[in-house]
Amino acid sequence: MPDPIATCDDNQQNGDETGVDCGGSCTPCETAIENPDSYTFERNGESTVSFDGQTTRLLMGDEILAAFMDNTSTVEKLNAMFAHIEGEADFENADLNASDKNIRSKTAASADYFASNATNQALIRADFDLWINNQVTDVYPNWEVAAVAGSAGQISDGSSTRYISAMGLEYNQLFNKGLIGALTADQALNNYLSPAILDEGDNRANNDAGTVEEGKTYTKMEHKWDEAYGYVYGLNADATDPNADLGADSFLNKYIGRVESDDDFAGIADEIFEAFKLGRAAIVAQKYDVRDEQAEIIREKISEIIGIRSVYYLQQGKNALDQETPDFGGAFHDFSEGYGFIYSLQFTRKPGTEEPYFTKAEVDAFLVDLMDDGENGLWDVTGETLDAISEAIAERFDFTVEQAGS
């Protein structure tokens, strides 16, 4: 049995029928929160956890990324995958073709950030459209050509080959890391964990009454929390114990694992998972203050993941250029990943606020600075610029450039 987490009523006496000791400060304890050891929740012997839509979109994302690296892909093909229409044969996976889900409609689409900001939503979606277009029109024509400053093409990165724009950018990395913010983080942090979604309409009353959705085993509030969980853990082999195989997708899950493997941040994966689990248990127990406290932890820690990797890739790219023989291929790969993570900073969430750690304007300024040290973009970027952006990012979070960059 998991340990119950009790909450107390100041007007009651010590001890109750649950046998939970409240430490003498108040009791009997109200209904305890039964926090399970794994993300397992049932009603009448059936699981109440469901996030199929999130799993579908993560699978779609992985197929789109693969198509980015197929130089026979067309703008039309990539756009169709991004804005999939039910029944269209856009994917290799027939189940994805049959789905009515797509990624584009959920990009920059959270209730808290974009319900009343159609302008920024349109600008952000236009960025993803542009990266698709540029990959096909700028990079594919030079697929077999060696890249040089001012000309797109291929460039060696150790045993790998990277395909870059004339300015040194890998558009597949911008698309990938940009979706970590614009899709997975924005939907989890600013949509499904938002009280605007969790408490929408009669959700609280129905959750209090245990009223499930028609034909389902879960209440609507339970399901919304699970949908946030699905954007983080939707492709894990065992979603009840996802930290056992972090790296199951190309999005948040992968980079939670990467940050967890850094000794400076060891434990962050468990903090995120435990907050998801306790928050879900609190919904079952109708303890909405505890639910909201866990949502704040998730927002803080997932935002940190994005901030840490932004700095990490800038510093790793800087190190690649600082060698006696600069490794431009390795540096451009790192910088492109860093560019995507910096882009994703605008979708983070400062705990206790309705604001990101960095506004869109601040993010746009970082990206201009990154590309603006010379006419050839990343070919000309300086260590001073990389350090200045890294320091500015780290200052907003509870880590240093040295911790994140190693």
C-alpha–C-alpha distance, residues 99 and 97, integer Å: 5
C-alpha–C-alpha distance, residues 381 and 77, integer Å: 34
Mean pLDDT, rounded, for 378-401: 98
Give the pair of three-digit tokens for residue 213.
């959705």
The separation between CA 93 and the C-alpha centre of its own chain, rounded to angstroms, equals 23
Say yes or no to pLDDT of 22 above 80: no
Say yes or no to pLDDT of 335 above 50: yes
Model pLDDT for residues 141-155, shown as the tens digit of each residue = 999 999 999 999 999
Terminal Cα distance for the chain, rounded: 40
pLDDT of residue 5: 56
Q: 81, 129 in Cβ contact below 8 A?
A: no
Task: Find all residues with CB under 8 Å of 36, minimum gap 6, and list them.
Answer: 2, 277, 281
Helices (H), 115-243: 118-134, 171-179, 186-187, 195-198, 203-209, 220-233
Delimit the domains of the chain by residue range: 52-405
Model pLDDT for residues 111-166, shown as the tens digit of each residue = 999 999 999 999 999 999 999 999 999 999 999 999 999 999 999 999 999 999 99
pTM of the model: 0.93
Say yes or no to pLDDT of 28 above 60: no
Give the pair of three-digit tokens for residue 18.
């649950």
Give the pair of three-digit tokens for residue 82.
């991004």
pLDDT of residue 6: 52
Q: 154, 138 in Cβ contact below 8 A?
A: no
